[in-house]
Amino acid sequence: MKADTELLKSRSQRAKVIASYDQSDPLVVMQTNMPGHAKHHPAADVVLKTFKRVLEALYKQPVEIHRSSDGDYAIMPCKRDVERLKNTLVYLEENHPLGRLVDLDVHYLGEQHSRRDLGMPPRRCFLCEKDVNVCRREGNHSVESLVNHFDDTVRAFLKRALAKEAIHALRRELFTYPCFGLVSHRDSGIHTDMNISHFLSAFEILKEAFETYLSYGLHKGFSLSTLREQGKRYELTLLKTVGANTHKGAHYLFGLILPFFARSVMEGNGREAFLEALKKAASTFESEDLAEQKTPESTGEKAYQSYRVRGIRGEIAEGLPSIYAWYPGAHLSDLEKLIQIMMRLDDTTLLKGEKGLLEDVKRCMREYIGNPSPEMEKKLDCLKKNVSPGGAADMLALVFFLERSDYLLE
Ligand SMILES: [Zn+2]
């Protein structure tokens, strides 16, 4: 009884909020179809935040999210033709992977414009395809089965969407130019043993690997040792298929980050909690990696043995300081973002036999940012011809990933 009163109260509160907006132009009201009356269910939050992004990108209008015990909702005033707007919203409801989980309604001049006004059939129940109102009225499904379906749909979306974003980020980094002596679409930089084709040929396997790691994070109770074993298998497959060591660092970086990112999103934890969980896992990985290395093989392993430079492992264990010291940096160009990373990161790919080059590069980047004089430009040009900051490039790809995905951690 108390719950019912509460529900009626929050519904009338929502009606008041909607009525308080000027409706001389259409108003989009969006609410998830979260079954039951769970407050702030994290999966429902994913749906709301994702459609906020979609609508803001489509209509260039800010979407405002309102918290309510009847389920959160969002409102966007939109100066568009009401019929065309409703048509677009119905299209999204029918075709976006999360469209079945959301109602995108239009209010205009004090009235709600429904599908029926456009001569469209009512929405289908997401479990049995009958008219959703019939299923609701007749109580055809248990709340539990509806919630499970809701959560599974969100998990499937996150797995596909985040893996796609990670690949997109790596591809964007590959097509970033100027980029010092890294491989790009323009040339192979200082590399003679690989070119862009090697990099492109890795993406199919990487996508499969990333989806696997994401699904660990999206389901409760995955173990670090499972991630580690699977990671080693994919690392071997990559090396065999590509025939060059193109993505060892990027695979390690994204392989460790993606499951923790996905888990934080699915559990409704913010950026801080994500970084804490990630730091803990990275520290475990780092000590296990070092314990395993009897004879160091890669540049990173040798670097640690010779100079105690921790590279990507230490960077993740410290919570990604080479990014979060300046991120998001929307005003920076891609090259400037790379320089921001290079001046901070212990990039072990710059340690070939001696530590001097890494220190030189970091100092030069710091001086350049502090005072981009013609003399510094000259120094930078010289470095551009002679160094290939592979570790910093992986971090730049991570920045591209975060720029498009970390709205989910807000
Ligand atoms: Zn049904």
Are 404 and 165 in contact by the 8 Å Cβ rule? The answer is yes
Q: 345: CA distance to ligand 1 center in Å? A: 54
- The phi, psi pair for 32, rounded to 5°, reads -80, 160
Residue 263 and residue 333 in one domain: yes
Number of domains in the chain: 2
Query: Which of 252, 232, 250, 349 is closest to 300 using CA atoms?
Result: 349
Last residue within a domain, chosen from 120, 141, 162: 141
CA distances from 63 to 110, 176, 210, 291 (A): 19, 32, 31, 50
Residue 232 and residue 261 in one domain: yes
Q: 222: CA distance to ligand 1 center in Å? A: 32
Q: 180: CA distance to ligand 1 center in Å? A: 57
Q: 207: CA distance to ligand 1 center in Å? A: 34
Q: Please, what is the Cα angle at 224 between 302 and 148, to 5 degrees?
A: 145
* pLDDT, tens digit, 9 for 90 and up, residues 142-178: 999 999 999 999 999 999 999 999 999 999 999 999 8
Q: Per-residue pLDDT for 1 more than 60?
A: no
Rounded percentage of the chain residues whose pLDDT exceeds 70: 96
Q: 122: CA distance to ligand 1 center in Å? A: 13
Residue 228 and residue 344 in one domain: yes
- Report strand pairing: 64-66 vs 102-108: unpaired
Last residue within a domain, chosen from 104, 125, 141: 141
Query: What pTM was estimated for this model as a whole?
Result: 0.93
Residue 228 and residue 323 in one domain: yes
Are 117 and 39 in contact by the 8 Å Cβ rule? The answer is no
Q: 139: CA distance to ligand 1 center in Å? A: 8
Q: 339: CA distance to ligand 1 center in Å? A: 55
Q: 125: CA distance to ligand 1 center in Å? A: 5
Q: 132: CA distance to ligand 1 center in Å? A: 6
Encoded amino acid at 335, one letter: L
Predicted confidence band at 291 (pLDDT cuts at 50, 70, 90)? confident
Residue 70 and residue 193 in one domain: no
Q: Per-residue pLDDT for 400 more than 90?
A: yes
Residue 127 and residue 172 in one domain: no
Domain with residue 16: its CATH number is: 3.30.70
Predicted confidence band at 38 (pLDDT cuts at 50, 70, 90)? low
Alpha carbon distance 249, 311 (integer Å): 10
Q: 133: CA distance to ligand 1 center in Å? A: 9
Residue 182 and residue 104 in one domain: no
Alpha carbon distance 314, 311 (integer Å): 6
Q: Which of 113 and 394 is assigned the larger pLDDT?
A: 394
Q: Per-residue pLDDT for 262 more than 90?
A: yes
Residue 308 and residue 332 in one domain: yes
Residue 158 and residue 120 in one domain: no
Q: 157: CA distance to ligand 1 center in Å? A: 21
Residue 178 and residue 303 in one domain: yes
Last residue within a domain, chosen from 82, 108, 141: 141
> Residue 271 is part of which domain span?
148-409
Q: 167: CA distance to ligand 1 center in Å? A: 37
Residue 90 and residue 206 in one domain: no
**Maximum CA pair distance of the chain?**
77
Alpha carbon distance 182, 341 (integer Å): 15
Residue 122 and residue 239 in one domain: no
Give the helix/strand (H/E) hosting 302.
helix 299-307
DSSP class per residue in 91-133: HHHHHSTTGGGEEEEEEETTEEE-TGGGT-PPPBPTTT-SBHH
